Structure 1
Amino acid sequence: MAWTKYQLFLAGLMLVSGSINTLSAKWADNFIAEGCGGSKEHNFKHPFLQAVGMFLGEFSCLAAFYLLQCRASGQSDSSVDPQQPFNPLLFLPPALCDMTGTSLTYMALNMTNVSSFQMLRSAVIIFTGLFSVAFLGRRLAPSQWLGILATIAGLVIVGLADLLSKQDSQHKLSDVITGDLLIIMAQVIIAIQMVLEEKFVYKHNVHPLRAVGIEGISVTKELSATTRMVLDSLRTVVIWALSLALSWEIFHPLQILGFLILLTGTALYNGLHHPLLACLSRWWHPTQEGENERLLGGSQTPINESS
């Protein structure tokens, strides 16, 4: 089935905006300028300013929210479910988690390579799965537990690649270790945010607009979760390739292995192996499947009625 122009637009928007978001922040981190009064040069290290810029972009979504609300109020469609009354303070705990996690993320980006930064963000799968079991009472499938284990293995390999790679003047070994740990901490806080939103916000039929992830949610809705995962992986590859091309980091072959294992863990956790197994099953047993269709779905006269 061919994609529509709107679906192509969403996919391109997710890939381009996600890549620009990370690359532009790292580009700013690489700026060097003289200090006040002719003091020595220093790098741009203002992660909290970058976080404020991100939240200003999210805050601008309120304008779109009120426009959609006015449009909905002018329609007489009774099939649209009205929002339940809710306390605005419900947004405070997840908003604080979002602010803390985003700030830690930009701090980590100052200290580590952009490719490792992008790959280590896959740790959110681990903590989201564990917290959903502990606080939401969910039961994970065996494939999801296997995906969590694969993600842990991939994170270890990516972290090991950081330790073994040659460090430059900007990223010292101690800074890289600290940055990697900050990324993991940020994913813990983001996972807590997701649990809080699902437990206290979404049950009131409230759908807060957030700038980060809106195109991702739209891609999942319009296309599929598989497409979103592929686009996320392509975004990591684009960021990685541009970072190497701009000499922002040094390539280490262990990162390829870590990336592939992380990709496998994400696919297993999201259940993307089911359609693959179904396709393999149809490919391996086409004759048997055709025989079953003829035996069970045919219009032939039953044997005991032929006489």
Structure 2
Amino acid sequence: MTRGALVLFVGLFSVLFLRRKLYLYQWLALVVAVLGVGIVGLAGAVFKDNPEALGDSRTVTQLISRAEELDGFSGETPVAVRTIIGVLLIAGAQIFTATQFVLEEWILENYAMDPLQVVGWEGIFGFLVTLFGMIILHFAIGNTENGRHGYFDMREGWHNTTTNKAVAISGILIMISIGGFNFFGLSVTRSVSATSRSTIDTCRTLFIWMISLGLGWESFKWLQVVGFAMLVYGTFLFNDIASPPLKACVPTHRPREELFPEEPIEHI
């Protein structure tokens, strides 16, 4: 549910900083979408998957739990503390992502830049910041006795990337995928709004769930179907694809978009 709170943060920031106006039915649509994501997550937490039904494949959660047991983190830190830390980290990530969405809309609105240009500059900025952080962490942690061959060891990371073909190919494909994802997302932001983009982006979970079902990584749960139905309905309602259920939610003086200019069209 914390992951789905992105749409609320984007809507709130759009109203505060971009002076956008969201009507009552749009706020209700955002709440419905967040509740839908929350129900999907609740279904996965309440109804645990049976490992025998899923075959021998281990999920990412199982691998992380196993790594925590080997590292001793799971035994030293209480479950409640780890849960609170996880929720706070996810909430902070959603605030940063919402800030990025709103800032991108402001840039596209105030500067003559195409989405591809914005993606390029974001990529250059991210590359430089990451490189700067890697160098600092390498000499501060990765170059020490305890940090050698760990996460922050640049030499170890470069060696694994250049010697492992699967890692190198995966890295290149991920860069292409993220570049395309950001380009299409910015195109939606320029055509509609950052809040509409966030609602559509949240629907990615539905397609991930469908693919996971096909690959046998997830078991079917009816409660998740209810959550995804609420998510899709909230997205359709916010983007005016579905009509509000109550007439009281419909704005009475909503400005109407002009389809054609008032000036006569010149014929050739």
TM category, shorter: 0.3 to 0.5
Larger radius of gyration: 1
TM-score under structure 2 length normalisation: 0.46
